[in-house]
Structure formats: structure tokens, C-alpha cells
Amino acid sequence: MIGLILAAAGSGSRFGSSVPKQFLPLDGVPIYFHSLDIFEPLVNQAVIVVPSRWKDQVYQETRDSWGADRIRVEEGGEHRQDSVRRGLASLPAVDIILIHDAARPFVTGGLISRVIDETRRTGACVPGLPISETVKQVRNSTVVQTLDRNSLVLVQTPQGFQREVLAKAIEKACEEGFYGTDEAVLVERSGHPVAVIPGEPGNIKITVKRDLSGRS
Ligand code: CTP
Ligand code: MG
């Protein structure tokens, strides 16, 4: 069984609107709804993790199209990792887990299917995009070193994991007090390899207001 954890519990501090960015309208429906719709035919179950005050509304908005037995809405946590951990606990019967940022509404079915296939094969998979600009490591406004961009990718979601691989990695990170900015870094630290497949340039994460300009 394939399960989706849609991470929608952030506050959107860099975006800076009173309503968290994932609940703002885009083409007439909330941003989180766009990706949820694309995942719907491709997964068996989903959990959306949200800030506590959004729980009832999000459940009402999603229950009919998914069916009450396929969708859950849970309260997220302070860090993204806490949100994902709670989501994982509410999908007990699922063996392939996909984790997606609610703030990435332009994901495609093709990308989701490729992540699922590679996750089945390898246990852990992320989409990555090549970097076209030069990347430098900087400290105190001075370059420390220039990184070899040919060995770097920009990592997107959905990220896919076999359940045991993800569960072990999250437990280890939590025991050690480590918090990552994605789930793959937890799996990397656990010693399990993470496969990279081509991401999609259109699959942007809405982070600041400019990311939506001309779209809403
Ligand atoms: N997220 C989450 N739980 C958290 C923090 C983030 O579920 N405690 C989710 C966000 O809702 C978002 C995704 O993780 O869909 C990617 O995170 P990001 O773009 O950083 O969103 P925010 O954390 O909301 O934004 P910011 O970092 O600017 O506050
Ligand atoms: Mg954040």
C-alpha cells in the first residue's frame, strides 16, 4: 500500500501572510489542494498534517473527494520532522511512504510515479534538479570555498521511502536531537543510500510572495 504524508503544518514565516501560504487560494482552490488532487489516483491513503486550528476545515474540504476511510487530518508539530513523524504514525498499514510539501502545487503524476518506482527498487528516493549557477560556501561575508556544481542537485518533493527505512531514520534523528530540512537527510544519516531521480523545473516550492506573482 502507498501512503502520502502531505506536510501542511508550517506557518510560512518567509512568505509572510496571516493565513499560512498552503491555505491561500490559487486558481480558485487552496494551494494544498492542487497537489492532493494529483496524488489522489496514485496512492491508497493520505494524511495531511496541519496547524491545529485548520484541522476541521481541511477534513471537511477533503473528506468527500477521498472518502473518509482514505484520508486523515492530523495536527503537525513544531518542526517539519515532528509533523512527518505524526503523519507516519497515522498510516500504520502503508509500506511505501511519499512525503510532499503542501507548498509545491505543481507536482505531476509522472514525477510521483517515477518516485514510487524508484522507492520500491531502492528503499529511498528523492527528485533532484541540476544547478545552473555557481555555488559558494560563505562565512562572515567571505567565500570559504566554491563547490563543484556538477556534483550538486536541488532537492524537491515528493520524497519516497519504504516504511521501515523512514521509521528507523526518524527515530534515530529524534533520539540524537537532530533536525533536518528534509526527510532524506535523516535516511542518509542512518546509513541507507538515497537514490536521486530527475526532478521537474516546474515543481517549485512556494516560499516567498514572488513565487506566486503572475499565478494567483
Ligand atoms: N511544514 C510542516 N510542519 C512544520 C514546518 C513546515 O508540515 N513544522 C511544511 C510546510 O507547511 C510546507 C513544507 O513543510 O508545506 C515545506 O516547508 P517550508 O516551505 O519551509 O514552509 P514553512 O515552514 O511554512 O515556511 P517558513 O520556513 O518560511 O516558515
Ligand atoms: Mg520552514
With both helix axes pointing from N to C terminus, report the angle between 163-176 and 80-89 in degrees, rounded to the nearest 10. Answer: 130
128 lines ligand 1 (CB under 6 A): no
Atom 1 in ligand 1: which residue has the minimum CA distance? 10
Ligand nearest to the CA of 205: 1
Work out whether strand 136-139 and strand 142-146 pair parallel, antiparallel, or are unpaired: antiparallel
Confidence category of residue 151, pLDDT binned at 50, 70, 90: very high
90 lines ligand 1 (CB under 6 A): no
Ligand 2 center to 95 CA (angstroms): 27
> In this structure, what C-alpha cell is assigned to residue 93?
498499514
CATH T-level topology, domain 2-207: Spore Coat Polysaccharide Biosynthesis Protein SpsA; Chain A (3.90.550)
> In this structure, what C-alpha cell is assigned to residue 122?
531502492
Beta bridge partners of 146: 136
- Give the domain ranges of the chain: 2-207
What is the pLDDT, as a whole number, of residue 139? 98
Buried b / exposed e along 146-169 (16+ C-beta atoms within 10 A): eeeeeeeeebbbbbbbbbebbeeb
Summarize pLDDT for 160-205 with one digit per residue, the tens: 999 999 999 999 999 999 999 999 999 999 999 999 999 999 999 9
Percent share of the chain, pLDDT over 70:
99
> In this structure, what C-alpha cell is assigned to residue 210?
514572488
What is the pLDDT, as a whole number, of residue 216? 56
What is the pLDDT, as a whole number, of residue 11? 96
36 lines ligand 1 (CB under 6 A): no
pTM exceeds 0.95, yes or no: yes
Beta bridge partners of 48: 6, 73
Average pLDDT over every residue of 99-113: 98
What is the pLDDT, as a whole number, of residue 10? 97
Mean pLDDT of the chain: 97
190 lines ligand 1 (CB under 6 A): no
What is the pLDDT, as a whole number, of residue 213? 84
Ligand 2 center to 46 CA (angstroms): 21
Contact (CB, 8 A) for 174 and 81 = yes
pLDDT at 214 over 90: no
| Sequence letter at residue 89 | A
Place of cell 476545515: 57
| Peptide bond between residue 158 and the one before it cis (omega within 30 degrees of 0) | yes
Task: Name 35's Cβ contacts closer than 8 Å, sequence gap at least 6.
Answer: 6, 100, 102, 104, 105, 106, 107
Summarize pLDDT for 35-49 with one digit per residue, the tens: 999 999 999 999 999
22 lines ligand 1 (CB under 6 A): yes
For residue 8, the ligand 1 atom closest to its alpha carbon is 11
Contact (CB, 8 A) for 97 and 166 = yes
